[in-house]
Amino acid sequence: MNSRQIGDSNIMDNSNVRWAFNANSWQPTLDQILAASSYIQQEEKERITRFVFQDDAKSSLIGRLMMRKFVHDSTLLPYENIRFQRDDRGKPYLANAGDVPINFNVSHQGDYVVLAGNTMKNIGIDVMKIEPPLHKNVPEFFRIMKRQFSEREWSKILSYPTELKQIACFYRMWCLKESYVKNIGIGITVPLDKISFSVKSELKVGDIVSDTMLYVNNTLKEDWLFEETLLDDRHAVAVSFQQDRNVKTSPVPYDSLSFDDIVRDAKPLVEPDATFASNFISKEFKKI
Ligand SMILES: CC(C)(COP(=O)(O)OP(=O)(O)OC[C@H]1O[C@@H](n2cnc3c(N)ncnc32)[C@H](O)[C@@H]1OP(=O)(O)O)[C@@H](O)C(=O)NCCC(=O)NCCS
């Protein structure tokens, strides 16, 4: 993965980012969680505390810390002034943005937490782990998901010769759909087969593909661009935004962040919360 200077205060460098954090390989220490507890809002702590599993608590916490880092890096708003709220469909936004243009979206699934941020335009992101269904065989799983995909999409998915490749294409399409509905903030409240994708280039780790086309109700939406890649051979990710296709821009590579990268410049909002930290650390892990 490409890596660039973290914490650079140059606004231009920080205005359009893609970040990835491997939550699965992070074993948080009590000190890290204590510090993190001082960087987030009370309602965020309450939500994280309600998770049964540490896996979910970690992903949610990292997502919130990444949002703060992006807002701070891209706008230079002091950490102490950053407050998030959610709209009526659950999408987080910067509460006290004023005239500051800022757009970001987080996704967490499988091993990763990812953030896409752009100061100028709405953005949506989704990451999915590519894995066979847990309690079903692949044809049964596809039968259940039949109505979520268009004829065009099913014919592409089923064109692959092995079930693993079909599942990989399925999750690629799923990321595309989610990145679109998350961009416009509606979530999965619309018939997903009406949001249909035509994919061309194959995904590869380290390569960003941006020739996928979107059809909504069978109408080509040329002004929507999707940047897709594999974070590793088991995680697909897609980012969506609107863009004039005649304006050529370079796809944005992912920076792989560590916990220290994410909190390097963070400033406390409140005192560290020992109860939150010990509850967090004592949560059980999902059994796979
Ligand atoms: C939003 C939604 C698409 C998330 O999909 P998902 O694959 O389960 O989750 P992801 O990991 O990709 O994304 C979750 C993150 O997206 C963001 N998010 C939440 N709601 C969102 C929305 N409506 N649009 C965009 N982003 C949203 C949050 O940062 C969230 O992280 P958090 O749960 O730690 O706060 C899905 O939950 C959904 O469709 N919900 C329905 C929303 C709705 O209409 N609710 C009715 C009113 S409650």
Rounded to the nearest angstrom, the distance between the alpha carbon of 246 and the centre of ligand 1 is 31
Q: What one-character DSSP code corresponds to residue 109?
A: E
Do residues 68 and 20 make contact, with C-beta atoms less than 8 angstroms apart?
Answer: no
| Cα–Cα separations (whole angstroms), residue 159 to 32, 136, 152, 162, 168 | 47, 21, 11, 9, 12
Pocket of ligand 1 contains residue 91 by CB under 6 Å: yes
Classify burial at 227, counting beta carbons within 10 Å of its beta carbon; exposed 0-12, middle 13-18, buried 19 or more.
Answer: buried
Taking CA 193 as the corner, what is the angle to CA 229 and CA 90, rounded to the nearest 5 degrees? Answer: 70
Tell me how far the alpha carbon of residue 199 lies from the centroid of ligand 1, in angstroms.
24
Half-sphere exposure of residue 247: CA atoms within 13 angstroms, side-chain side:
6
- Residue with CA at minimum distance from ligand 1 atom 10: 107
**Angle of CA points 137, 138, 144, to nearest 5°:** 95
- Atom of ligand 1 at shortest range from CA of 88: 47
Residue 187, phi-psi category: left (phi > 0), alpha (psi -120 to 50), beta (remainder): left
What does DSSP say about strands 255-256 and 16-22: parallel, antiparallel, or unpaired?
Answer: parallel
Quote the pLDDT of residue 38. 98
Q: What is the pLDDT of residue 7?
A: 33
What's the rounded Cα separation, in Å, for the pair 75 and 9? 9
* Nearest residue to 58 (alpha-carbon basis) of 288, 233, 277: 277
Nearest residue (by CA) to ligand 1, atom 4, is 187
**Quick one: fold of 126-242?**
Ribosomal Protein L22; Chain A (3.90.470)
Asked if the domains at 1-121+252-288 and 126-242 fall in one CATH topology, the answer is yes
Ligand 1 contact, 188 CB (< 6 A) = yes
C-alpha pair distances (Å), 243 with each of 32, 109, 197, 265, 283: 39, 27, 17, 32, 43
- pTM confidence score: 0.93
Find out whether the beta carbon of 182 lies less than 6 Å from any atom of ligand 1. Answer: yes
Q: What is the pLDDT along the chain (288 residues), one digit of tens a residue?
A: 333 433 333 434 589 999 999 999 999 999 999 999 999 999 999 999 999 999 999 999 999 999 999 999 999 999 999 999 999 999 999 997 777 889 999 999 999 999 999 999 999 999 999 999 988 899 999 999 999 999 999 999 999 999 999 999 999 999 999 999 999 987 667 788 899 999 999 999 999 999 999 999 999 999 999 999 999 999 999 999 999 988 888 999 999 999 999 999 999 999 999 999 999 999 999 976
* Spatial contact of 262 and 256, defined as CB atoms under 8 Å apart: no
Give pLDDT, residue 10: 40
Q: Whose CA is nearest to atom 12 of ligand 1?
A: 107
Compute how many other C-beta atoms are within 10 angstroms of the C-beta atom of residue 224: 20
Q: Residue 251 has what DSSP assignment?
A: P
Residue whose Cα lies nearest atom 33 of ligand 1: it is 60
Nearest CA to ligand 1 atom 9: 107
- The 3-state DSSP class for residue 224 equals strand
Q: What is the structure's pLDDT at 221?
A: 96
CATH of the domain spanning 1-121+252-288, picked from 3.40.1030.10, 3.90.470.20, 3.30.870.10, 3.30.565.10: 3.90.470.20
Q: Where are the domains of the chain?
A: 1-121+252-288, 126-242
